[in-house]
Chain A
Amino acid sequence: GEDVEQSLFLSVREGDSSVINCTYTDSSSTYLYWYKQEPGAGLQLLTYIFSNMDMKQDQRLTVLLNKKDKHLSLRIADTQTGDSAIYFCAESFYGGATNKLIFGTGTLLAVQP
């Protein structure tokens, strides 16, 4: 079945770059997403990339997609303490009558001042 994997934890210093990695199994995914979840909150859509793209940049965020290796990464430049949160990778695919999102278990990003 479809599976999305992420490392559980990443610690960086404020001002450094963070790179959060994700691997997925379904090669028919149409879009791949990054969501952010702060404590006590729901999921906030950060960015997404269409499966025929290699890279997408949005201000401090850079998404890289290696479709051959089914590897997705999120780079956060100049990481701030406000970036501390859990980051979820998700792949979408069309199954049955609906477009489904398959989520990873999330990566906890801890930013040290």
Chain B
Amino acid sequence: ETGVTQTPRHLVMGMTNKKSLKCEQHLGHNAMYWYKQSAKKPLELMFVYSLEERVENNSVPSRFSPECPNSSHLFLHLHTLQPEDSALYLCASSRTSGGADTQYFGPGTRLTVL
């Protein structure tokens, strides 16, 4: 247990569905991250939040919409996804978004888009 939880662990959705991924950290951290892990590709950073403000958006399509209501919770809202969006979505948190603070990862949500 890393102190970062994600729900659901598995999600299958059609291209017209709307769903949300949830991440919660119990570490008292101020920064949270969404990563995408696709087969045979390095982890891709999607979004970074620091103290509930988005500080990084790595050219992610608008069909992915993050939300950070407080420093412990992070959501990724999904709509009109494509089959190529199927991947493992990992959430991480760190004490701050700057410096060299270690990132701790959740178990991920395995997303399949039909």
Contact = CB atoms under 8 A, between A and B. Distances in A.
B61 interface: no
Interface string A35-53: 1000011111100101000
Contacts of A88: 43
Contacts of A40: 107, 110
Contacts of A96: 55-56
Interface in A30-80: 30-31, 33, 35, 40-45, 48, 50
Contact of B100 (A30, A102, A105): A30
Given A42-B107, A42-B108, A102 B42 contact: yes
Contacts of B4: 42
B2 interface: yes
B34 interface: no
Interface in B83-98: 90, 92, 94, 97-98
Given A44-B2, A105-B41, A99 B100 contact: yes
B53 to A, nearest CB: 10
B2 A42 contact: yes
Contacts, number: 68
Contacts of B94: 99
| Secondary structure of the A contact surface, majority rule | strand
A45 B102 contact: yes
Nearest to A31: B100
A44 B102 contact: no
Interface string A77-113: 0000000000010001010111111111110000000
Contacts of A92: 100
Interface of A: 4, 30-31, 33, 35, 40-45, 48, 50, 88, 92, 94, 96-106
25 contacts: A4-B42, A31-B102, A35-B105, A40-B110, A42-B90, A42-B105, A42-B108, A43-B92, A45-B103, A50-B100, A92-B100, A94-B98, A97-B55, A97-B56, A97-B97, A98-B55, A98-B97, A99-B99, A99-B101, A100-B45, A100-B56, A101-B43, A101-B45, A103-B43, A105-B41
